[in-house]
């Protein structure tokens, strides 16, 4: 062990090695560009930014009203803010917590046509200084701050900046009690530890009227997550840098130092190859040109019948907008399906009430940002060879722009399944065998929020179906324990999880991903219909059957009618229909939400984290469209009290019939860890579908062609020998 | 319209054009071989039968105890039966309704090693003659019928044979009332109609003590399903060929003659190509050799860590057996996972209580056979280019063998997803971006049971997960109606479905697929554990949290403990563990059943179809292993009364703790049709997973390598230009 360093030395080391466990906007080009320089060779088309990277962004102009803010636009906004009277003196410039496109009014976007001049480009800036949160819509061309709303000591703060986290972590690490606690555990405070700041949640007095971070530490290693310094929690006031409390309840708990946690290939490749992992790589290949087209501006994608605008977003990670389908009938008209779809919030409560764990009830989008934690995708591995990539331009805390390359990928997918098929029994007199391979378009973003990696896919099918999929991988958040075998544990329930390795408990937790789905089925005025299935008894003598399942359509009049808790034995389909757009048969044009396997929160409704995340109380909600209601946990989610979220908005019980409505769906996962989740978790996923229902006259892919050998690429190096 | 044909002429025509709506064993080589001659060129390896087809099967010997009966074996069995004293006289030979491998005792199979002599090859024959059902285990080498169980007029018959269906259909079509009914509708009874026999279900007196078929007709066209002669139902006694009743309640209902129902490419290609279907074909390609190996006998497949025996089966469609994983740790030992997995029964109740519909409550495996309705897969379209194929050898009703080629395909799949990943925040001091592409092995079978096509996939993952997936496509079963617009319908509920085209209602129905899963996790002695998640309130002062989710393990002692109705707000994980096989940490080795999105039957428990299909009352059941309990609806499912099925067996409430146990899972779909299901249905699917839980010490694919460009094939004709 090295000698004890000076506090100043310690601070410096901590500064450079700090674990910013919880996502931060990366501020510096060099760090990012060096990551990017590891890029594998590009194949399969340009990235939508022509691969020119940084330079490209400095000069590129927006093309579509929903294109994200460009490098130059962010620079302009910074300069507008800097010259604003309220921030003009050098020390009053606030820290920028969020700076993103303020979308034009929906009607303006719907009215815009390619070639039209763009509607005014605007940004919504959320800034913070001296206990005041500033919400600032800014108009770029007129260089005006349109409004300046100031909230003093609000219930809820903007997401943390890297500066916040660095300062708080430094303050924590410099505290003598922390240094002693680390030394007590035999670790070197200067070189052997990684500390990181964690969102505190909101539980009352300690988090009241001040911004608070909790700091915890790990023994340093490439997979430091598996070596927690258990029981040591430092509570820091982010605004004053004051340590509020140092809690150490883990003196009897060893720091796990398992040696097989390094999952990196450079380490694993030294292990003998086993049959289980010796699989020859595969690739999706396409003879001829990709079927995808990327429009001017690099964000509008056309594929099969679809057109959809895709953009990275600092908070949501990725936003898909203006999803429209060109109906093969009716003169090829473009028909609206979804105006906007995105991850609105992500709630991750851990299930240990103890001092070092109770507060771990994260809201990853609002506290950290799914986009600010979306790092460059790993080509060929995160996305297939044929993927194209989109870069993101985000604003740092000082308001300057930076480029995050390869944050979104888009690719055509063939997975060996069929879009439709039928074989006729040959004895019927027809020789019919028809099958059509299924090909889809996938837009993907991965957010690495600390230990967890969330892959969000939007998949568009040729039959008009949209599938959203969230995949989870990364590292467990684990707890150190003195136990090495379950038989030593007095009460297994008191582990609050599963023993996944020596002295390591994978703590039970949930993930709830709440999607914002602004459906515009054939236009904005839609209704939500529960197509309810219920048992109907037959009348005596009516039928040899005693019962059948009857379908009853129930149109939701107000928000209350549309709050849904899914029940297997009380099922419904969930349709968003346009009541004014009837098919020739009289069926309203619609899309239905088809939930996948899911999970619901079991927390008490009056438990503080559940109140903050009350948007998880129902799996489905429907609200009238309201520009200010996009983030299910509220605009200011950090330390929010639960008084500005979807559940609260929806208490107004507004009218939603034949209105512009927004559908909210929450996908859930219960995670009881197991040994296989150690030291890195195999991907698990869940999905939901948005599926056309009486939207098309007939199956829209009936005309698709089957494959023949001549259609497929000729590849060398292929040895089909079994 | 042509002149009215003679009854004899009519019979002849009906014989040749008969719609055998409900799957029949194809008896003749020529029909099948001509289908097979349409095979697309083979690429990607041999079929496991060396592509030699028929000849191959005539000579091939079984290699593994679970290999299906060969061509020669079936011939031998026929000859044994023919010389049996009970069947020796020419007119006493029964019709063969089922003739398949009688598996050796489990202990014998588990003890067998490659190279050992095979245990005695045996068949289980279910035959029928003169109101008697014969169940006959036959030993091939000794040429002995081991037992001869005769059931006179049982509650439940074997599945129908083609002869049964042909005779019944002829009898129905020859009836003057039927001819008149068809003429009345302006159709030509000799050339304009296709009639088909439908399983009758069991509803009491009419089906009591006699085998009954219902016959219905359609106007002839390539997609005749869309043109029902509504309301005409003929009830026929299959044993006497007597027409029991002709019911015609559809005189006012037109026969739908929509012109756009022909989904065949030869028809559709004449339509203009639209953007929606203009997608360039894609292929999965692999540089170098496939990672799959097929063992001697053509049924044992090895891939990654897996070894699994795959065989076609006349009733289940496909059986996967002896699924084992070679643990990368512990000296590469083969560890048992699942002894046998298959579709046991498929229940499809339609939701219309009317005369022509109430009885449509099919049990597709037991009444028709998933394998006998599995026709040759369409190469490149049903399965990707790299697939290998397995042929089936089945027995016809006269006991002779025939070959059904390409019934099962097996392929490696890459779908552009990741097996695991993590990106470390670069500010933590580590430059870590790791992702591993996910590749899996898929075994696929498609059963076209009349109008519906069921694709059953077993997918094996490198992380030890097994995913079962059932995909539905094909044609709706529709009902003709006088209405062309919903506004004309007095009460929409009385349609019992959705108006999907002019005069066509897609009738609401369910699909329940019940899987038999004989789990042997590290050996036969297993327990079923519900890992129950429940809300736990914290004690006052214990924590700032008011609640958390606690996990409680509940070991099922008897069958009653293991009956599960899934509830979102009362969740459990469902583990099959080996209580004697503890990990170093003390966790029992296990696999968990992870249900996907599903549906439950809403029929009354005392409704006749629900009683017969009482195996759908719970989503999960666990029974002690019993060789005679494999078919959830009973061995004799046709017209069964519900007195020999999973629900009845399980009433014994047998001990299941630390026993050889079988897990049953029922996957469900509610189907409320929509316009997009017309005239052919886009595929929908559901899944469930069998996932290792504390089976491996660590994530078994941590060692997998990432892809580099050099790993991937070089393909010509690829133009990446967007």
B-contacting residues in A 54-73 (Cβ below 8 Å) = none
Instruction: Say yes or no: domain A70-159 is CATH 3.10.450.40.
Output: yes
Catalytic residue among B67, B364, B406, B510: B364
**For range A207-217, the mean pLDDT:** 93
For residue A531, list chain B residues with Cβ-Cβ distance below 8 A. 672
For residue B549, list chain A residues with Cβ-Cβ distance below 8 A. 351, 508, 510, 602-603, 670
For residue B279, list chain A residues with Cβ-Cβ distance below 8 A. 291, 303-304, 412, 439, 462, 704
Same fold, A7-23+161-273 and A70-159: yes
B429, B426, B463, B705: which is closest to A263 by C-alpha? Answer: B705
- The tokens of B226 are what? 């869309």
Q: Kindly report, residue by residue over B207-247, the tens digit of the pLDDT.
A: 888 999 999 999 999 999 999 999 999 999 999 999 999 99
Residue B364 known to be catalytic:
yes
Q: Kindly report, residue by residue over A232-285, the tens digit of the pLDDT.
A: 999 999 999 999 999 999 989 999 988 889 999 999 988 877 777 789 999 999
Q: Do B676 and A682 touch (CB under 8 A)?
A: no
Q: Is B41 on the interface with A (CB under 8 A)?
A: yes
**For range B138-152, the mean pLDDT:** 95
User: Does A552 score more than 90 pLDDT?
Assistant: yes
Q: Kindly report, residue by residue over B245-270, the tens digit of the pLDDT.
A: 999 999 899 999 888 899 999 999 88
**For range B108-130, the mean pLDDT:** 95
- The tokens of B669 are what? 């779909």
Q: Is A279 on the interface with B (CB under 8 A)?
A: yes
CA A271-A275-A277 angle, to 5 degrees, is 65
Q: Do B551 and A606 touch (CB under 8 A)?
A: no
Q: Is B413 on the interface with A (CB under 8 A)?
A: yes
Residue labelled with tokens 């590129």: A60
A589, A593, A582, A292: which is closest to A465 by C-alpha? Answer: A593
Q: Do B585 and A18 touch (CB under 8 A)?
A: no
Q: Is B207 on the interface with A (CB under 8 A)?
A: no
Looking at residue B164, its pLDDT comes to: 85
For residue A473, list chain B residues with Cβ-Cβ distance below 8 A. 418, 420-422
Distance from CA of A596 to the nearest CA of B (A): 5
B284, B273, B260, B680: which is closest to A434 by C-alpha? Answer: B680
Q: Do A587 and B675 touch (CB under 8 A)?
A: yes
Distance from CA of A140 to the nearest CA of B (A): 32
- Interface confidence (ipTM) of the complex: 0.92
Q: Read off the pLDDT band of B717 (50, 70, 90).
A: confident
Q: Kindly report, residue by residue over A617-644, the tens digit of the pLDDT.
A: 999 999 999 999 999 999 999 999 999 9
Q: How many angstroms separate the CA atoms of A667 and A174, rounded?
A: 41
Looking at residue A48, its pLDDT comes to: 32
CA dihedral B8, B12, B15, B16 (to 10 degrees): -160
Q: Do A608 and B720 touch (CB under 8 A)?
A: no
Domain map of chain B by residue range? 7-23+161-272, 61-152, 293-711
A172, A193, A136, A215: which is closest to A2 by C-alpha? Answer: A193
Nearest CA in chain B to A377: B433
Q: Is B608 on the interface with A (CB under 8 A)?
A: yes
Q: Kindly report, residue by residue over B567-596, the tens digit of the pLDDT.
A: 999 999 999 999 999 999 999 999 999 999
Q: Out of 3.40.50.150, 3.50.50.60, 4.10.320.10, 3.10.450.40, which CATH number does the structure's domain A7-23+161-273 have?
A: 3.10.450.40
What phi, psi does A633 have (nearest 5°)? -95, 10
The answer to whether A483 and A497 have CB atoms below 8 angstroms apart is no
CA dihedral B80, B83, B84, B85 (to 10 degrees): -170
Q: Do A418 and B471 touch (CB under 8 A)?
A: yes
Q: Can the peptide bond before residue B23 be classed as cis, meaning omega within 30 degrees of 0?
A: no
Q: Do A597 and B602 touch (CB under 8 A)?
A: no
For residue B594, list chain A residues with Cβ-Cβ distance below 8 A. 597
The answer to whether B263 and B493 have CB atoms below 8 angstroms apart is no
CA dihedral B333, B336, B337, B342 (to 10 degrees): 130
A292, A293, A300: which is closest to A66 by C-alpha? Answer: A300
Q: Read off the pLDDT band of B154 (50, 70, 90).
A: low
Q: How many angstroms separate the CA atoms of A568 and A533, rounded?
A: 11
A474, A483, A477, A522: which is closest to A501 by C-alpha? Answer: A483
**For range A116-140, the mean pLDDT:** 95
B456-475 as b/e: b if 16+ CB within 10 A: bbbbbbbbbbbbbbbbbbbb
| B24, B43, B208, B277: best to mutate for the A interface, most A CBs within 10 A | B277
**For range A446-475, the mean pLDDT:** 97
Q: Kindly report, residue by residue over B528-576, the tens digit of the pLDDT.
A: 999 999 999 999 999 999 999 999 999 999 999 999 999 999 999 999 9
Looking at residue A59, its pLDDT comes to: 56
User: Does B162 score more than 90 pLDDT?
Assistant: no
Residue A67 known to be catalytic:
no
**Fold exhibited by the domain B7-23+161-272:** Nuclear Transport Factor 2; Chain: A, (3.10.450)
- Kind and range of the H or E run holding A204: none
For residue A567, list chain B residues with Cβ-Cβ distance below 8 A. 567-568
| Average predicted confidence (pLDDT) for chain B | 90
Residue labelled with tokens 């949160």: A133
User: Does B337 score more than 80 pLDDT?
Assistant: yes
Nearest CA in chain B to A197: B428
Catalytic residue among A218, A362, A452, A591: A452
Q: Out of 2.70.98.20, 1.10.10.10, 3.30.460.80, 3.40.225.10, which CATH number does the structure's domain B293-711 have?
A: 2.70.98.20
Q: Kindly report, residue by residue over B319-334, the tens digit of the pLDDT.
A: 999 999 999 887 889 9
Looking at residue A332, its pLDDT comes to: 83
* DSSP secondary structure letter of residue A718: B
Q: Do B203 and A545 touch (CB under 8 A)?
A: yes
Distance from CA of A408 to the nearest CA of B (A): 14
Coil, helix or strand for A437?
Answer: strand
The answer to whether B347 and B616 have CB atoms below 8 angstroms apart is yes
Q: Read off the pLDDT band of A149 (50, 70, 90).
A: very high
- More confidently predicted of A428 and B671: B671
* DSSP secondary structure letter of residue A12: H
* DSSP secondary structure letter of residue B655: B
Exposed / middle / buried, residue A558 (Cβ in 10 Å: 0-12, 13-18, 19+): middle
Q: How many angstroms separate the CA atoms of B335 and A523, rounded?
A: 57
Q: Is B29 on the interface with A (CB under 8 A)?
A: no
Nearest CA in chain A to B539: A353
CA dihedral A503, A504, A508, A510 (to 10 degrees): 160
Instruction: Say yes or no: domain B61-152 is CATH 2.102.10.10.
Output: no
Q: Read off the pLDDT band of B58 (50, 70, 90).
A: low
Looking at residue B187, its pLDDT comes to: 97
B-contacting residues in A 359-398 (Cβ below 8 Å) = 359, 373, 375-376, 378, 380-388
For residue A587, list chain B residues with Cβ-Cβ distance below 8 A. 486, 498-499, 674-675
User: Does B376 score more than 90 pLDDT?
Assistant: yes
Contacts for B37 with CB less than 8 Å, ≥ 6 apart: none
- More confidently predicted of A491 and A590: A590
- The tokens of B525 are what? 């002695």
Q: Is A555 on the interface with B (CB under 8 A)?
A: no
């Amino acid at each position: 062990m090295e000698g004890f360093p000076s506090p100043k030395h310690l601070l410096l080391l901590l500064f450079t090695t700090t674990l910013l466990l919880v996502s931060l906007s990366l501020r510096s080009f060099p760090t990012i560009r060096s990551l990017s320089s590891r890029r594998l060779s590009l194949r399969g088309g340009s990235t939508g930014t022509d691969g020119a990277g940084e330079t490209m962004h400095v000069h590129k102009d927006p093309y579509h009203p929903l294109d994200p803010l460009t490098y130059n636009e962010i620079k302009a906004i910074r300069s507008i803010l800097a010259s604003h009277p309220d921030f003009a003196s050098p020390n009053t410039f606030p820290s920028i917590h969020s700076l993103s496109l303020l979308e034009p009014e929906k009607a303006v976007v719907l009215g815009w046509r390619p070639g039209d001049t763009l509607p005014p480009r605007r940004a919504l800036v959320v800034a913070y200084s001296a206990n005041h949160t500033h919400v600032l819509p800014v108009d770029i061309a007129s260089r005006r701050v349109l409004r300046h709303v100031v909230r003093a000591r609000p219930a809820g703060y903007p997401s943390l900046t890297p500066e916040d986290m660095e300062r708080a972590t430094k303050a924590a690490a410099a505290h003598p009690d922390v240094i002693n606690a680390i030394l007590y555990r035999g670790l070197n405070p200067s070189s052997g530890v990684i500390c990181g700041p964690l969102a505190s949640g909101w539980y009352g007095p300690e988090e009241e009227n001040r911004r608070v971070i909790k700091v915890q530490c790990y023994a340093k290693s490439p997979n430091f997550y598996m070596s927690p310094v258990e029981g040591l929690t430092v509570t820091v006031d982010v605004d004053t840098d004051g340590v509020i409390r140092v809690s150490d309840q883990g003196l009897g708990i060893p720091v796990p130092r398992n040696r097989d946690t390094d999952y990196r290939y450079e380490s694993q490749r030294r292990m003998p190859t086993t049959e289980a992992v010796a699989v020859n790589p595969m690739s999706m290949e396409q003879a001829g040109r990709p079927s995808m087209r990327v429009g001017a501006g690099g964000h509008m994608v056309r594929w099969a019948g679809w057109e959809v605008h895709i953009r990275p977003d600092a908070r949501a990670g990725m936003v898909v907008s203006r999803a429209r389908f060109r109906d093969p009938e009716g003169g090829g008209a473009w028909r609206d399906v979804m105006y906007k779809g995105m991850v609105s919030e992500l709630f991750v409560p851990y299930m240990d009430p103890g001092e070092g764990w109770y507060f771990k009830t994260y809201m990853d989008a609002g506290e950290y940002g799914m986009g600010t934690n979306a790092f460059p995708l790993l080509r060929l591995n995160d996305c297939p060879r044929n993927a194209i990539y989109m870069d993101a331009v985000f604003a740092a805390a000082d308001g300057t722009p930076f480029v995050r390359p390869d944050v979104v990928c888009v690719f055509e997918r063939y997975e060996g399944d069929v879009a439709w098929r039928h074989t006729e029994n040959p004895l019927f007199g027809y020789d019919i065998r028809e099958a059509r391979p299924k090909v889809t378009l996938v837009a993907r973003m991965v957010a690495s929020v600390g230990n967890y990696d969330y892959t969000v896919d939007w998949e568009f099918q040729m039959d008009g179906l949209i599938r959203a999929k969230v995949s989870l991988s990364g590292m467990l958040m684990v707890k150190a324990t003195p136990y090495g075998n379950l038989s030593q544990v007095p009460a297994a329930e008191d582990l609050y999880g599963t023993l996944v390795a020596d002295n390591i408990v994978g703590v039970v937790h949930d993930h709830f991903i709440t999607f914002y789905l602004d459906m515009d089925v054939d236009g904005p005025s839609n209704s939500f219909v529960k197509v309810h299935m219920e048992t109907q008894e037959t009348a005596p003598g009516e039928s040899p059957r005693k019962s059948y399942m009857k379908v009853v359509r129930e149109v939701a009049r107000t928000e209350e009618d549309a709050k849904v808790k899914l029940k297997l034995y009380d099922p419904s389909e969930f349709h968003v229909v346009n009541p004014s757009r009837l098919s020739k048969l009289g069926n309203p044009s619609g899309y239905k939400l088809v939930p996948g396997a899911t999970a619901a929160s079991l927390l008490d409704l009056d438990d503080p984290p559940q109140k903050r995340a009350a948007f998880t109380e129902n799996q489905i909600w429907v609200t009238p469209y309201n520009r200010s209601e996009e983030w299910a946990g509220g605009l200011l989610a950090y330390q929010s009290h639960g008084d500005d979220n979807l559940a609260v908005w929806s208490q107004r019980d507004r009218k939603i019939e034949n209105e512009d409505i927004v559908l909210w769906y929450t996908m859930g996962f219960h995670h009881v860890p197991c040994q296989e989740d150690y030291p890195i978790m195999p991907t698990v996923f869940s999905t939901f579908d948005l599926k056309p229902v009486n939207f098309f006259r007939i199956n829209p892919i009936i005309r698709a062609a089957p494959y023949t050998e001549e259609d497929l690429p000729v590849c060398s190096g292929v040895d089909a020998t079994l």
